[in-house]
Amino acid sequence: QVQLVESGGGLVQAGGSLRLSCAASGRAFGSYAMGWFRQIPGKEREFVASIDWSRTHTLYADSVKGRFAISRDSAASTVYLQMNSLKPEDTAVYYCAADETFGNSWKNLYTINYWGQGTQVTVSS
């Protein structure tokens, strides 16, 4: 059974930082790209960041470039999202994702095959 389990969400003041983690199990996720999406009520889930299996290439949404950093451990089965300089508009449920492919296809959520259950991030002003 494939599982992606997120942790690290919470409440933080604007300008603060949070680190999200996502642990993958059930498949050889070392060969999968992994990443993050986020969603607020009434809006479609949007791409945040992704990283390839080799930890060499990353992609970011323009809205988080320079503030967020994605990484994964050497076993490649855990992915992290370091979120700095948080803004109230970053408030959302953050979802971990995994897929066999990497690239611009990640900006289309309908191409992603595996999802976590989500973790709430709330940034107060």
29: tokens are 């996720």
Q: How confident is the model at residue 125 (pLDDT cuts 50, 70, 90)?
A: very high
pLDDT digits (tens, 9 = 90+) for 62-71: 999 999 999 9
Checking if the pLDDT of 33 tops 80, the result is yes
Q: Which residues pair with 104 in a beta bridge?
A: none
pLDDT for 26? 80
Higher pLDDT, 91 or 73: 91
Give the helix/strand (H/E) hosting 48: strand 46-51
8: tokens are 């690290």
Residues counted in the chain:
125
Overall average pLDDT of the 74-81 stretch = 86
CA distance 26 to 95: 18
CA dihedral angle for residue 48, residue 54, residue 56, residue 62, rounded to 10 degrees:
-10
Checking if the pLDDT of 1 tops 80, the result is no
Residue 104, classed as helix, strand or coil, is helix
